[in-house]
Structure 1
Amino acid sequence: MTCILHVAVQTPAHSGVGDLLSYQHTEALAPGTLVRVPLGQREVLGVVWDALPGEPLPAMAQLRPVAGVLAGLAPLDAAWRRLVAFAARYYQRGLGEVALAALPPQLRELGPEQLARRLRRPAAPAQDAPDAPETTETIALSAEQQSVCSQIASQPGPFLLYGSTGSGKTEVYLHSVQAALARDPAAQALVMVPEINLTPQLEARFRARFAPLYGAGSVVSLHSGMTNPQRLASWLAAHSGRARIVLGTRMAVFASLPGLALIVVDEEHDASYKQQEGARYSARDLALWRGREQGAKVILGSATPSLESWHASRPPTPEDPQGGRYLRLHMPSRIGAGALPRLRLVDMAQQPRGAVFSPPLLAAMTERVERGEQCLVLLNRRGFAPVLHCHACGWKSDCPHCSAHQVFHKTDRSLRCHHCGFAQRVPRACPGCGNLDIAPVGRGTEQLEEQLAALLRNVITPARRAARVARIDADTTRAKGALEEQLAQVHAGEVDVLVGTQMVAKGHDFRRITLVAAVQPDGALFSSDFRAPERLFALLMQAAGRAGRDARYMEAQASQPEMWVQTWHPDHALFAALRRHDYPAFAAQQLGERAQAGMPPFAFQALVRADARTQETAQAFLQAAGDAARATPLPGLEQVFIFPPVPLAVQRVANVERAQMLLESTSRTALQRFLAAWQPLLHAERARHKGLVRWLVDVDPQAI
């Protein structure tokens, strides 16, 4: 008997092919079964899908046969398929595009025989995993932690765990995971972190706690820093139920977890949870949807929650008796009665002209290093200087392919574009006028490292050696294992002053750092992006949290943690809230401004972006698409405001011009109805604009 199968395959983005393709097979296959099917001249992986309601059946003679079935692998369950279908629908992408991107890359390349051989292999031990101890460690919970864990156990959630830096949120995660796994022998937990470099240290803690209880293979990781075989092994362990805990970055939200009982999203405010290529999904938002749909509890944790989550966790009031959808849990105290860092603002208008480090800050750092303590200096800009400049003719080191400057990297004497990757040697003289005196303008982490090494060269530590300055950013951590090696040096006390970007400002448990300094944070205060103050406040609060985390060490040193901020605007309201470590006050002020302006979370947004050979073509496509939507008119249009198209801040990247058009509505439903109905018009307009390279829809954008 020949059957018709509906299969999701990874068709090209915006191809207009449709969500499902039909094939014939000798027997019916359960939805979720993985198959190899012909697509054009290729053979690709596909997922057998439920038939869409009202879908007409094609003639059997027109259908190509399924090439092979990946037997031995349990079908992807209905809950996973619903998650993929929702993500594709909400973020305006193809069903097959989302479904296949959610599977491990190596799985997409395997045929039935290759997979069968792979499944016959014994499960490989976790890569670079520390040996599990024979007995699990037990840590007594503080009263705050115990109260929070009790509420998580007794309430349905979702929960927003608002805990200050160093308050012990990770121990709450561990306790909640342990409770969830103990209740059901088939239960699984998903724990997400925003960045790859935070995964190994968290993995070590989870292995120490759970490997003795459930075996060495019970904890696996999923992130893009793993090799393809490692990712496949972790995915198979999660899909089969052998792995009880999956730790990962945003991609892990799509892991096949048939026994999912608990989802933890650590540092839930972090913008890294929003995918910026392909299907631009928010892993945090999908985690909430998945938890509700699968009956799993969801814990969002942060010391500086996103304003959307903060608003959604508002307690009931007489004016708002219903309150928010989340239950807010508060842990204001640091473990071990550690003190939060004292904020010291330095008015740079009162400091010597051209000073990179103010004399008071330099004196404070010198004192700390001489006592054997460590300092952290934060500057969220890598390289030596943002631009090289000729004062004679005005030449700047512009990228020839982008509307941006090439950044000067002194280490290898190169100019690099951080947008398209183009690099070249630093010219010996100005290309415009031949002037030999071309100078760097602005500062990057390379320059701070060099200047600090010179300023602290005569400072002697208690170990009777000169002060050591190190730098951690994307440039110093390119090599495999480089980040782990550098972090180990910091933890071992071999580094006295650490200079870094935001990658060292969050999640790391530096026990000897007692002073944190932010050198140039003012740019975000007056950004055109309405989310910039929120991101700056979170970054500074997270960075401050690296200081004074070990209360016993601070007591032994008779020291107090400090956060120094050098600014030209010391009276800004953001710094007033930061001085008090008062996130609620900052959030209330920001939410008040957003409510008045009708911005998220009080409105919902989508961006349509066009990339073309010329800026005129990009904007013409967007304008025509908006005009077509108004002329039709599309459902939901009366509740959607379409702004005029404008260039992006960096409007040219890799010789491609970029423009965007913002859509805004007070109704999420109306915006979604409009976007779904708009898709055919966008396809039609693309055919009329020959210079258009691509277009995309970004729902709930994080940057405008």
Structure 2
Amino acid sequence: MTIFRIALPTPLRRLFDYLPPTAEAQKAPAIGVRVRVSFGRRELTGVLIELADTSDVPQAKLKPALEVLDQTPPLPPHLLELACWAADYYQHPIGDALHQALPVLLRKGESDQPSLQQRWHAVPDITVDAIAPRAKKQRALLELLLQHPEGLDNAALRSAGYSSAQQKPLSDKGLIEQREVSPDNTTTPAKTALLCQPVLPLNDEQQQALDTIFAREGFNPVLLQGITGSGKTEVYLQAIERILHAGAQALVLVPEIGLTPQTVSRFRSRFAVEVEVLHSNMTDRQRLDAWLRARSGQARVIIGTRSALFTPLQTPGIIIVDEEHDISFKQQDGFRYSARDLAVMRARAENVPLVLGTATPSLESLHNAQSGRYRHVRLNQRAGNASPPRFELYDIRQQPLNSGLSEEVIRRIGIELQQGNQVLLFLNRRGFSPALMCHQCGTVIECDRCDARMTLHRTPPHLHCHHCDHQRPIPHRCPSCHSSDFKPQGAGTERTEGVLQQLFPDTDVIRVDRDSTQRRNAMQDIMDRVHDGRPCILVGTQMLAKGHHFPAVTLVVILDADAGLFSADFRGMERTAQLILQVAGRAGRAERPGQVLMQTHHADHPTLTQLVSQGYEAFAMAELAMRRDSGLPPFIYHALLRAEANYRGRAEAFLSTLCSALASDGLSLPGVSWLGPFPAAMEKRAGFFRAQLLLQSHDRRALQQVLSSITPILEQSPLARQVRWSLDVDPADSH
């Protein structure tokens, strides 16, 4: 008798046994196919992991599965194995991990066949001579469609710079038509059809980087460390071109959705092949269709955020992780995997090159490069004639400030604007003010659900907790003394934008943060305004720091360079250094030289001075030495057990029972130690009281064995129903 052993999307860390479907006799399905089953009162879609001939459950109690949904598994065997390995390593229920590796519609049991597509085609036997020479845009569109007999959809035409203004006249004249097509596997294009535009010449450093990527066949991890503006993207593009010539596909991971449109636009303007994108702002149908085109081999280049890591490729050729240091590659809830680290595992399994690109490598990647696990290539020369920006620490102690702006900053902004340049101000605090205080008694309005102050917003007026998203109206009277005399404390991007608009009324001030970019296409509209080259002031959060090209920006002002210098998290200084240099890299990317002015109360801080005078690598080497001496990652392995409960002390009590079990039951292994339990840095968040327990070891395998032994204890604890807990292996932060 065959038993189906199925992984289901539940919090339980085990597989579930079912009998084969009773509807019809069938041959044993392949491992990895989706199976629809009855689970309690629900129907769930699971993944077949194993076929067995016995079960610990009596046969009379086994339910038959309802339906096998696939003829062939949605994920190829090596990706199924990778997802199972990740579930085991990150101590996450296997069913939920496999669930998240699939597109949403496949999780819901829908077919894994692509939907029909609407594509524009040139009508048969037509030439560009059918369009008058003066209608250059229409002629170019018709020529593009003639070059793509398979047709192009609206998204591809928009990315190529064409809109309905060019499509409609051609359609009305009967020169082009829209057809409904079923996407089929496309053949590999001829080499001459791969590029839409010629490649740019590489300098010696870029050419060395490209040669290193292909220095040996198969798995070849390369850490590509290039200062901002050094042309890392051009190296990516030319590496992908080689892969496309070999008939293979490329997977490019970017940290955030905000970087995706410009990356896709640049890749689509370079390559005359199908470039697909995968991110959470797409509809479920769009994501599934893109996923299927990647799996079939029709999509040759796939660009996506963290979850795109599990996208199957028919002919994998290279994996590129851009901004590899970015914390966004680590999932912060649920299945807490690192897409960067799993990209290494996937590249090894698929035996393809891996490129980890960044201007400011994570200390983990630098350590791997020092240890010989990665090849380390540096790009220290800016592309073209651009020179690195000049740094200046400006001491604001005892200086008068206008909503956080010193007189020197205001003066320097004015000079740049008079010269026709653009200025970028970085402040990693959105809203009008980070706190609202009663001027009479000093009471600061705090969030009822968090140990945090509420941020004042003026457009629209309200108080907002950026930790739990709780919002409330601005109070008319102080809850302590009933005074109505409230004063905003400190400045956020909203307030800074308003002050700059008053100081420079004839200049366009553009705010870039999560609030100002919520509208669809808002970020693209902002980029269009900036790229028209007119003098303007950009003020924003870290959304401005990554990947953007602002050729007219000559002055970058970091208003609060001290943020993160005294963080409770040992990674605080690393994050601060990375952010400072990422922001600074927006200055002087073209012919005009750039300057970076950093306001600070600690102009003599040794880390800051080392960073601006010697660069990131000198800072990183010193930081690695400190980590080694202190016994911190990457020289030791961490796992953080988090717990939260409705009542203070309950989460700590839950973790204390585990500490007792570790001490008395011999669950711990030599070399594995623990710290805590202790309250989280922000103990109360979203109405829950949080506590943490840190487990660490120099032996990764010993730590994994201990983690595997404690999860059953946590699940069976009498307090487990009163506490919500999670295990974070290789945590990216300690909050």
Asked if these proteins are the same fold (TM beyond 0.5), I'd say yes
- Which one-letter code corresponds to 1:242 in the other structure? Q
Asked whether the equivalents of residues 152 and 159 of structure 1 are also in contact (C-alpha less than 8 Å), the reply is yes
Structure 1 position 517 matched with structure 2 position 548:
no
Find the aligned partners of 2:486 and 2:295 in 1 and give their Cα distance.
58
Find the aligned partners of 1:121 and 1:132 in 2 and give their Cα distance.
18
Find the aligned partners of 1:19 and 1:336 in 2 and give their Cα distance.
57
Find the aligned partners of 2:721 and 2:259 in 1 and give their Cα distance.
44
Find the aligned partners of 1:617 and 1:128 in 2 and give their Cα distance.
54
1:405-446 deviation per Cα after TM superposition (whole angstroms, max 9, x unaligned): 111002211001112222111122223222121111121111
Equivalent residue for 1:317? Answer: none
Cα displacement (A) at 1:350: 4.9
Cα displacement (A) at 1:56: 4.4
Structure 1 position 393 matched with structure 2 position 426:
no
Cα displacement (A) at 1:20: 4.3
Structure 1 position 342 matched with structure 2 position 390:
yes
Asked whether the equivalents of residues 4 and 60 of structure 1 are also in contact (C-alpha less than 8 Å), the reply is no
Asked whether the equivalents of residues 561 and 600 of structure 2 are also in contact (C-alpha less than 8 Å), the reply is yes
Asked whether the equivalents of residues 642 and 727 of structure 2 are also in contact (C-alpha less than 8 Å), the reply is yes
Q: Match for 1:483 among 516, 523, 532?
A: 523
Asked whether the equivalents of residues 33 and 71 of structure 2 are also in contact (C-alpha less than 8 Å), the reply is no
* SS of corresponding position for 1:526: coil
Equivalent residue for 2:142? Answer: none
- Which one-letter code corresponds to 2:106 in the other structure? L
Equivalent residue for 2:18? Answer: 22
Cα displacement (A) at 1:229: 1.3
Find the aligned partners of 1:201 and 1:111 in 2 and give their Cα distance.
32
Cα displacement (A) at 1:174: 0.9
Equivalent residue for 1:703? Answer: 733
- Which one-letter code corresponds to 2:93 in the other structure? G
Equivalent residue for 1:626? Answer: 659
Equivalent residue for 2:41? Answer: 41
Cα displacement (A) at 1:72: 6.2
Find the aligned partners of 2:652 and 2:623 in 1 and give their Cα distance.
32
- Which one-letter code corresponds to 2:473 in the other structure? R
Equivalent residue for 2:131? Answer: none
Cα displacement (A) at 1:51: 4.7
Q: Match for 1:197 among 258, 264, 272?
A: 258
Cα displacement (A) at 1:181: 2.3
TM-score by length of 1: 0.90
Stretch of structure 1 that moved more, 471-480 or 572-581: 572-581
User: Which segments of 5 or more consecutive residues in structure 2 lack a partner in the other structure?
Assistant: 120-151, 162-194
Asked whether the equivalents of residues 603 and 666 of structure 1 are also in contact (C-alpha less than 8 Å), the reply is yes
Equivalent residue for 2:637? Answer: 604
Equivalent residue for 1:501? Answer: 541
Equivalent residue for 2:422? Answer: 374
Find the aligned partners of 1:119 and 1:253 in 2 and give their Cα distance.
23
Q: Match for 1:248 among 284, 304, 310?
A: 304
Cα displacement (A) at 1:703: 1.0
Equivalent residue for 2:200? Answer: 139
Asked whether the equivalents of residues 3 and 17 of structure 2 are also in contact (C-alpha less than 8 Å), the reply is no
- Which one-letter code corresponds to 1:544 in the other structure? A
Q: Structure 1's 21 and 563: CA in aligned 2 closer, same or farther, altered over 3 A?
A: farther
Asked whether the equivalents of residues 494 and 511 of structure 2 are also in contact (C-alpha less than 8 Å), the reply is yes
Find the aligned partners of 1:166 and 1:261 in 2 and give their Cα distance.
26
Asked whether the equivalents of residues 647 and 658 of structure 1 are also in contact (C-alpha less than 8 Å), the reply is yes
Cα displacement (A) at 1:581: 5.3
* SS of corresponding position for 2:20: strand
Cα displacement (A) at 1:354: 6.2
Asked whether the equivalents of residues 9 and 97 of structure 1 are also in contact (C-alpha less than 8 Å), the reply is yes
Find the aligned partners of 1:520 and 1:415 in 2 and give their Cα distance.
23
Equivalent residue for 1:96? Answer: 95
* SS of corresponding position for 1:681: helix
1:104-155 deviation per Cα after TM superposition (whole angstroms, max 9, x unaligned): 112222445xx56x55667893747635498333211122111111111113
Asked whether the equivalents of residues 615 and 647 of structure 1 are also in contact (C-alpha less than 8 Å), the reply is no
Stretch of structure 1 that moved more, 326-335 or 18-27: 18-27
Find the aligned partners of 2:326 and 2:159 in 1 and give their Cα distance.
31
Structure 1 position 683 matched with structure 2 position 715:
yes
Cα displacement (A) at 1:84: 0.4
Q: Structure 1's 9 and 495: CA in aligned 2 closer, same or farther, altered over 3 A?
A: farther
Find the aligned partners of 1:244 and 1:73 in 2 and give their Cα distance.
22
Equivalent residue for 1:460? Answer: none
Cα displacement (A) at 1:393: 2.3
Find the aligned partners of 2:154 and 2:54 in 1 and give their Cα distance.
44
Cα displacement (A) at 1:578: 2.7
1:558-617 deviation per Cα after TM superposition (whole angstroms, max 9, x unaligned): xx2100100011111222233235112101110111111100011110100001111210
Equivalent residue for 2:513? Answer: 473
* SS of corresponding position for 1:29: coil
Equivalent residue for 1:154? Answer: 215
Cα displacement (A) at 1:355: 6.5
1:624-649 deviation per Cα after TM superposition (whole angstroms, max 9, x unaligned): 11211221112x52211110111112
* SS of corresponding position for 2:158: coil
Find the aligned partners of 1:285 and 1:563 in 2 and give their Cα distance.
33
- Which one-letter code corresponds to 2:502 in the other structure? A
Find the aligned partners of 1:434 and 1:64 in 2 and give their Cα distance.
65
What is the correspondence of 1:565-580 to structure 2 with a 5 Å cutoff?
565-580=598-613
Equivalent residue for 2:318? Answer: 262
Equivalent residue for 1:229? Answer: 285
Asked whether the equivalents of residues 148 and 329 of structure 1 are also in contact (C-alpha less than 8 Å), the reply is yes
Q: Structure 1's 23 and 56: CA in aligned 2 closer, same or farther, altered over 3 A?
A: closer
Cα RMSD (Å): 2.1
Cα displacement (A) at 1:360: 2.0
Cα displacement (A) at 1:86: 1.0
* SS of corresponding position for 2:367: helix
Equivalent residue for 2:628? Answer: 595
- Which one-letter code corresponds to 2:343 in the other structure? A
Stretch of structure 1 that moved more, 297-306 or 395-404: 395-404
Find the aligned partners of 1:81 and 1:631 in 2 and give their Cα distance.
38
- Which one-letter code corresponds to 2:335 in the other structure? A
Find the aligned partners of 2:352 and 2:567 in 1 and give their Cα distance.
39
Asked whether the equivalents of residues 614 and 691 of structure 1 are also in contact (C-alpha less than 8 Å), the reply is no
Equivalent residue for 2:688? Answer: 656
Asked whether the equivalents of residues 266 and 301 of structure 1 are also in contact (C-alpha less than 8 Å), the reply is yes
Equivalent residue for 1:318? Answer: none
* SS of corresponding position for 1:565: strand
Asked whether the equivalents of residues 377 and 500 of structure 1 are also in contact (C-alpha less than 8 Å), the reply is yes
What is the correspondence of 1:159-558 to structure 2 with a 5 Å cutoff?
159-183=222-246, 185=247, 187-210=248-271, 212=272, 214=273, 218-314=274-370, 323-352=371-400, 356-457=404-505, 466-493=506-533, 496-551=536-591, 554=592
* SS of corresponding position for 2:373: coil
Find the aligned partners of 1:494 and 1:68 in 2 and give their Cα distance.
62
Stretch of structure 1 that moved more, 407-416 or 233-242: 233-242
Asked whether the equivalents of residues 191 and 245 of structure 1 are also in contact (C-alpha less than 8 Å), the reply is yes
* SS of corresponding position for 1:293: helix
What is the correspondence of 1:40-119 to structure 2 with a 5 Å cutoff?
40-51=40-51, 56=55, 60-71=59-70, 75-111=74-110, 119=115
- Which one-letter code corresponds to 1:172 in the other structure? V
* SS of corresponding position for 1:540: helix
Asked whether the equivalents of residues 7 and 23 of structure 1 are also in contact (C-alpha less than 8 Å), the reply is no
- Which one-letter code corresponds to 1:632 in the other structure? D
Asked whether the equivalents of residues 127 and 230 of structure 1 are also in contact (C-alpha less than 8 Å), the reply is no
Cα displacement (A) at 1:658: 1.0
Equivalent residue for 2:650? Answer: 617
Aligned residues: 663
Q: Structure 1's 150 and 369: CA in aligned 2 closer, same or farther, altered over 3 A?
A: same
Find the aligned partners of 1:101 and 1:205 in 2 and give their Cα distance.
29
